Amino acid sequence: MEETKKKFKATMLIYPAVIILAIGGLVAAILYSKKLHPNSAYDKKLGYNVDEYITLGQYKGLSVEQEIYIVTDEDIEYEMEDAATEEVEVEGEIKEGDFVNVDITATSDGEVLDDLSNEDYDICVGDGDFGEELDEKLVGQKAGNAVDVEVANAGDIDENYEGQKVSLYVVINSATNYVEHELTDEYVKENLGYDTLDEYRASVKEDLEKEGTEDNAYAMKEELYQMAVDNATMNGYPDELYAEVSEDAYAQLYDEAEEWGMSDDMDGFFESFYEKDEDQSTDEFLEEYYEEMIKSELVMHAIAKAEKLEVTDEIYNEKVKEYVEDYEYDSAEEFEEDYGKDEIEKAILSDVVYDFLADNAEIKMVEPSDDEEDEEYYDDEEYDDEEYDDEYLEDYDDGDYEDADDEDHEDDEDYEEVDYDNLIEDDEHKNRNKVAVLNLFSEAIPWRNNEDGESEQWIDIFVNSHRDTDHLRGLKDVNDNFPIHSIWDSGQSSESTGD
């Protein structure tokens, strides 16, 4: 009997241990299950529990500044003049300076050259985009005609075809030019829907102020969001999210590189535009880049979940309507087909989170920075060229140009005098089409002698204020026509790229 009691006591000692182990295993299983099988509505929609991967820091009560947007008389006058510029079809024969839209088929020995062939391509006659031979053939033609052109040296079109003869078959789809109308009360009443010129001017000012204020507000919200991201801690990420982000991000990076004609040198593209260190491997750079994007997305979802923010049907429909108008789509269905409803909803959620951060921040309105300070700096007789060269043109190796005749730099191969009076800002010309912009550049950029003593037009410095698709779109065409010698990139993100 005594032996039986001892056995029973021994068993009782084991049971608590078994129970404790069972409870511990159950808790671990529940936590693991929560991670793999999220139980909230928000988590289920995501497919993972965002709280497992992000620990939020401060995101409410942040302090930030927003610049007051001031419209100048010059801004107003330019917008008004631009509205009075009308694109008209060329009646009769095409002449130098007209803009033609063409389909070009390039061949060599009967073989089509895809690199030189283009559909729906715009040319300013006389600019030599496809060689002087084509310009000469186009003069005197009419829209609807087709011409055959023999190009003696296709290197004038693309350096990869230097010394090669190429045949072009060119169909002229249309021919246009621009007429600048005089702005009068009568003109704005008949064409722009305003009773007087003063009324139109006031409307332009109001629109510019609204647009500029919205841009500055968005920049402020971006800054707030970056603060929230910096204050958060990422504890890992779902494998599926990494796969999705890395695939989409690399595709976007590759497209940007193609715009610059640098898709064959992705390392060089990353170093020029994304501050990749020379001693950093591509895999290391991309891993870091992807993880930054993943953290940004996780923080967005973590804030939305914590604050119960959501994209309602009303918000979704309202935003899509704005997108359709902004990006000139015919319908919401067409826009959704191109971008996908899930991606659109994610973009809208980002805006909702941005607005929440701004509503819960301390925003100080400040006067805009004085751009004239920079101009005065460059015009100042005390301006130190040597300091400028050391700081900005360290890697500039385009040679000693004939017009850079500063005695202090006559032996410096890396020096080139920059003319700061020849500045072109994209905001001033955003409504013009490609050929109009290229024509504007042709008029504004001076002809100078290059290192071979040949007369050439080039761009000394391209300043990329932020990484937006409109800042990259078409730049390959600009670079092909006016070689860009140096790029200053801010590294700042933007609404449309999300970089």
User: Quick one: which of 74, 87, 80, 73 has its CA closest to 432?
Assistant: 87
What tens digit of pLDDT does each residue of 403-440 get?
Answer: 434 444 445 454 444 444 445 554 444 434 455 566 66
pLDDT interval class at 454 (50, 70, 90): low
What tens digit of pLDDT does each residue of 327-386 get?
Answer: 889 999 999 999 999 999 999 999 999 999 999 999 999 998 765 444 444 444 444 444
pLDDT interval class at 477 (50, 70, 90): low
Of all residues in the chain, the percent with pLDDT exceeding 70 is: 71
pLDDT interval class at 220 (50, 70, 90): very high
Q: Read off the pLDDT of each residue in 68-88 and give the average, rounded to a whole number.
A: 91
> Pairing relation of β-strands 455-456 and 448-449?
antiparallel
Question: What are phi and psi for residue 150, nearest 5 degrees?
Answer: -105, 120
Show the CA angle centred on residue 137, arms to residues 133 and 140, nearest 5°: 150
Task: Quote the tokens at residue 67.
Answer: 């610049």
Q: Read off the pLDDT of each residue in 271-285 and give the average, rounded to a whole number.
A: 90
Using the structure block, give the residue that is written with the tokens 């002229």. 172
Separation between Cα atoms, residue 291 and residue 430, nearest integer Å: 33
Say how far residue 179 (Cα) sits from the centre of its chain.
31
- Give the contacts of 291 (CB within 8 A, at least 6 positions apart): 234, 237
Range in 4-13, 227-236, 270-279, 490-499 the model is least confident about: 4-13
Task: Quote the tokens at residue 172.
Answer: 């002229």
Which DSSP letter does residue 490 get?
A: -
CB crowding 225-260: b at 16 or more within 10 Å, else e: bebbbeebebeebbeebbeebbeebeeebeebbebb
**Averaged confidence pLDDT in the chain:** 78
pLDDT interval class at 281 (50, 70, 90): very high
pLDDT interval class at 444 (50, 70, 90): confident
> Pairing relation of β-strands 54-55 and 233-234?
antiparallel
- Give the contacts of 30 (CB within 8 A, at least 6 positions apart): none
What tens digit of pLDDT does each residue of 115-143 get?
Answer: 888 898 888 998 887 788 999 999 999 99
Q: Compare 435 and 195 and report the one with higher pLDDT.
A: 195
Which DSSP letter does residue 68 get?
A: P
Q: Read off the pLDDT of each residue in 453-461 and give the average, rounded to a whole number.
A: 73
The answer on pLDDT for 249 being more than 90 is yes
CB crowding 427-449: b at 16 or more within 10 Å, else e: eeeeebeebbbbbebeeebeebe
Q: Which of 125-129, 275-279, 317-321, 439-443 has the highest mean pLDDT?
A: 317-321
Q: Read off the pLDDT of each residue in 193-220 and give the average, rounded to a whole number.
A: 95
Q: How many CB atoms lie within 10 A of CB 356?
A: 18
> Amino acid letter at 251?
A
User: Quick one: which of 156, 81, 179, 213 has its CA closest to 481?
Assistant: 156
Of all residues in the chain, the percent with pLDDT exceeding 90 is: 50
DSSP string, 29-60: HHHHHHHHS--SHHHHHHTS-GGGTEE----S
- Give the contacts of 350 (CB within 8 A, at least 6 positions apart): 300, 498
Tell me the H-state helices in 113-265: 131-138, 185-191, 197-231, 239-259
Q: What distance, in Å, lies between the first and last C-alpha atoms of the chain?
A: 78
Q: Bridge-partner residues for 100, per DSSP?
A: 123, 175
pLDDT at 455: 64
pLDDT interval class at 469 (50, 70, 90): very low
DSSP string, 425-469: -GGGGTTS-HHHHHHHHHHHSPPEE-TTS-EE--BS-EEESS--H
pLDDT interval class at 466 (50, 70, 90): low
Q: Which of 256-265, 349-358, 464-473 has the highest mean pLDDT?
A: 349-358
Q: What is the CA radius of gyration of the chain?
A: 30
